[in-house]
């Protein structure tokens, strides 16, 4: 299996509960943010994005909140399911070039 | 639904050998990227390409070479592999400039002995 992420912070939630995964970003000039999901042995999968002119964006069962004052991003997953078990990480794009900066991630473990 | 494919999925080689990792995308995306993923680090950008025949260095380019003769392919070569290059390598693509999601392949796990 995938060895990346063995020492990541872990969030354990009961199936059916809501999950909140947090991310602090580093650059106040960042203007675009993405949440990715990475399952074992797979590449990162796009979940949802948000631009700096928004505070909240909703998708299917997921919501991203952006607090630019404290440079904080969160991902909320409603009614967490076993298939949501994965590593989640945020990425920030600084307003030049193609360079996203990726966080190290949080492992979400869904308990039956 | 082909998307972006990487090959090989697993590779073991020896120090000093040359190894090439392949990346192919079927979306005709202009931009392509190579990242490495290591314990304790987020994804780190090695090289990227804005179009065929246009490449540029990322955060950790030393020891790597890229080319992009065709839009759909973006191979990454380790000219003389070192143990520090043992990692999981991901290729990604996006349709345009910044502020658009990048779409990733499933990675190549490379071990250098």
Q: Residue-wise pLDDT tens for chain B (113 aa)?
A: 569 999 999 999 999 999 999 999 999 999 999 999 998 788 999 999 999 999 999 999 999 999 999 999 999 999 999 999 999 999 999 988 777 889 999 999 999 99
Residues of chain A whose C-beta is under 8 A from some C-beta in B?
A: 2-7, 31-32, 34, 36, 41-46, 49, 51, 89, 91, 93, 95-105
3-state SS class at A20: strand
Flag if B107 and A103 touch (Cβ within 8 Å): no
* pLDDT at A73 (0 to 100): 95
pLDDT band at A95 (very low <50, low <70, confident <90, very high): low
Distance CA B111, CA B113 (A): 6
Which residue do the tokens 């199936």 mark? A15
* pLDDT at B1 (0 to 100): 55
* pLDDT at B71 (0 to 100): 95
* Cβ-contact B60, B111 below 8 angstroms: no
3-state SS class at B85: helix
Q: Phi then psi for A35, rounded to 5 degrees?
A: -105, 135
* pLDDT at A2 (0 to 100): 34
The closest alpha carbon to B19, from B27, B31, B11, belongs to: B11
For chain A, percent of residues with pLDDT exceeding 90: 74
Distance CA A26, CA A103 (A): 10
- Name the CA dihedral angle for B64, B69, B73, B74, rounded to a multiple of 10 degrees: 20
Flag if B39 and A4 touch (Cβ within 8 Å): yes
Nearest chain A CA: its distance from B59 CA (Å): 9
* pLDDT at B46 (0 to 100): 95
Tell me if the bond preceding B45 is cis, omega within 30° of 0.
no
Distance CA B59, CA B47 (A): 8
Flag if A98 and B37 touch (Cβ within 8 Å): no
pLDDT band at A5 (very low <50, low <70, confident <90, very high): very low
Flag if A7 and B39 touch (Cβ within 8 Å): yes
For residue A48, pLDDT beyond 60: yes
State the pairing for strand pair A106-111/B10-13.
unpaired
For residue A6, pLDDT beyond 60: no
Residues on chain B touching A49 (C-beta within 8 angstroms): 101
Residue of chain B with shortest Cα separation from A95: B98
Residues on chain A touching B103 (C-beta within 8 angstroms): 46
The partner residues of B31 in beta bridges, in order of sequence, read B94
pLDDT band at A4 (very low <50, low <70, confident <90, very high): very low
Nearest chain A CA: its distance from B104 CA (Å): 6
* pLDDT at B24 (0 to 100): 98
């Amino acid at each position: 299996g995938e060895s990346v992420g063995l020492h990541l912070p872990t969030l354990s939630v009961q199936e059916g509960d809501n999950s909140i995964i947090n991310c602090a970003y580093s650059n106040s000039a960042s203007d675009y943010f993405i949440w990715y999901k990475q399952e074992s042995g797979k590449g990162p999968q796009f979940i949802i994005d948000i631009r700096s002119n928004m505070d909240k964006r909703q998708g299917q069962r997921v919501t991203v909140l952006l607090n630019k004052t404290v440079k904080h991003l969160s991902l909320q997953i409603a009614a967490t399911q076993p298939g949501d078990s994965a590593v989640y990480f945020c990425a920030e794009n600084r307003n030049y070039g193609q360079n996203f900066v990726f966080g190290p991630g949080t492992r979400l473990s869904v308990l039956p | 639904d082909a998307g972006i494919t990487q090959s090989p999925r697993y590779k073991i080689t020896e120090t000093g050998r040359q190894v090439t990792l392949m990346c192919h995308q079927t979306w005709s995306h202009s931009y392509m990227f190579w990242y490495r993923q290591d314990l304790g680090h987020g994804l780190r950008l090695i090289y990227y390409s804005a179009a065929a025949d246009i490449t540029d260095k990322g955060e950790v380019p030393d020891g790597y070479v890229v080319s992009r003769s065709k839009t759909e392919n973006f191979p990454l070569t380790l000219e003389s592999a070192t143990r520090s290059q043992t990692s999981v390598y991901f290729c990604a693509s996006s349709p345009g400039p910044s502020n658009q999601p990048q779409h990733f392949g499933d990675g190549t796990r490379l071990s250098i002995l």
